[in-house]
Amino acid sequence: MGVLRLGYLHVRETDLASARQYYGETLGLTLMNEEPGKLYFKAWDEWDHHHLVLEEGGAGLAKFGFKVSGLDELERLEKGMRNFGLETVRMSKNETLAVGQGVRAVLPSGHIMELYHDIEYAGTAVGTVNPPVRPRHLEGIGVPRLDHALLTTEDPALMERLFTEVLGFRASHRLVTELGDKGDLIATWLFTTHKSHDIAFIKGPSGKLHHFAYRVMDWSAIRHGGEILSMDNVPVAFGPDIHGLTRGQTIYFFDPSGNRNEIFSSDVETAADFPTVTWTREQIGHASYIGREVKESHFSVT
């Protein structure tokens, strides 16, 4: 009930041609549609029409959307956001291609968020009758599905309040300056499914995208992905490694416009009744588990 998952991201690209090649051939996404200045992509194991819209011009996150479980839930969440003090506007069907009516708000973090219930059904690449475990041929990394995004905000605590009190998320992990009352929140990992996070916020400039991540199967898929990144000369920011924080296995890398991507697997399973795990800044080294140094560059943003 409520927010089902991170549904789509609209990401700005300085050059649409190189982005098309990168997301199509390196990540292995399927181009679902194109309009002047826009490309719509889905991954092979997703049901919905698209999870990524590339928009020509600049870099960074134009907006993102959460799929919610019903139109009544849409209304309930809209009311909740207004009570929290957000301004919301209604968006009509097909304002975004293939997406039904919804609610849009500018978050305190400066990001534009949309909630929607309907999106055209496209179906996975393996279908619903006696499917193989994956398509026989996959292009490039062949990522199966979108997983999560990490955004920057000047006030992580405020964003955590909004997501937990209004949008029904819970915090699986929190990074604080120190334990106890004097500790400030540096970052928060928020889930509505049973994964370590569907969205996360980290202290930083308003409105920026740290990265968005694709789920892959396991550590061998992380290596396979890394091999493709190397063959395709994609700049790698970090990894392969394990995140101590979330246990996720990971590589970070950059799309042609400098938007940071991640392939991610094997993070901790969460549930609504689990306690939140706390990380303290002085242990942040172990947060990048094996390599152990969190490179400065890692916390820069687009």
Q: Is 5 in the site for a second copy (CB under 8 A)?
A: yes
Among 18, 72, 165, 271, binds a second copy (CB under 8 A): 271
Assess whether 75 carries a catalytic annotation: no
Q: Is 227 in the site for a second copy (CB under 8 A)?
A: yes
Q: Is 256 in the site for a second copy (CB under 8 A)?
A: no
SS3 81: helix
Query: What's the closest the beta carbon of residue 134 comes to a second copy, in angstroms?
Result: 7
Report the C-alpha gap between 167 and 162 in whole angstroms: 7
54 versus 167: smaller Cβ distance to a second copy: 167
Assess whether 34 carries a catalytic annotation: no
Q: The tokens 């246990």 sit on which residue?
A: 247
Query: What's the closest the beta carbon of residue 77 comes to a second copy, in angstroms?
Result: 15
Assess whether 211 carries a catalytic annotation: yes
Report the C-alpha gap between 221 and 302 in whole angstroms: 26
Assess whether 137 carries a catalytic annotation: no
Count of residues near a second copy by CB under 8 A: 64
Q: Measured on CA atoms in the order 170, 166, 98, 59, is the torsion positive or negative? A: negative
Q: Is 261 in the site for a second copy (CB under 8 A)?
A: no
Query: Catalytic: which of 197, 210, 224, 293?
Result: 197
What the block records as the tokens of 139 is 């292009």
Whether the Cβ atoms of residue 260 and residue 209 lie closer than 8 Å to each other: yes
CA-based nearest residue to 207, from 135, 247, 239, 159: 159
SS3 20: helix
45 versus 95: smaller Cβ distance to a second copy: 45
Per the rule left: phi > 0, alpha: psi between -120 and 50, beta: everything else, 135 is beta
CA-based nearest residue to 45, from 211, 220, 215: 215
Site stretch for a second copy (CB under 8 A), options 73-81, 180-188, 202-210, 244-252: 244-252
Among 65, 100, 239, 256, binds a second copy (CB under 8 A): 239
61 versus 68: smaller Cβ distance to a second copy: 68
CA-based nearest residue to 149, from 193, 106, 201: 201
Q: Which of residues 49-78 bind a second copy (CB under 8 A)?
A: 67, 69
Helix (H) or strand (E) holding 9: strand 3-13
Q: Measured on CA atoms in the order 180, 185, 188, 192, is the torsion positive or negative? A: positive
Among 1, 18, 75, 178, binds a second copy (CB under 8 A): 1
Among 178, 217, 258, 300, binds a second copy (CB under 8 A): 217
Whether the Cβ atoms of residue 254 and residue 260 lie closer than 8 Å to each other: yes
Binding residues for a second copy, per CB under 8 A?
1, 4-5, 45, 47, 67, 69, 121, 123, 128-134, 136, 145, 179, 193-195, 215, 217-220, 223, 226-231, 235-236, 239-242, 244, 247, 249, 251, 265-266, 268-269, 271-280, 283, 286, 289-292
Active site residue ranges: 148, 197, 211, 243, 252, 262
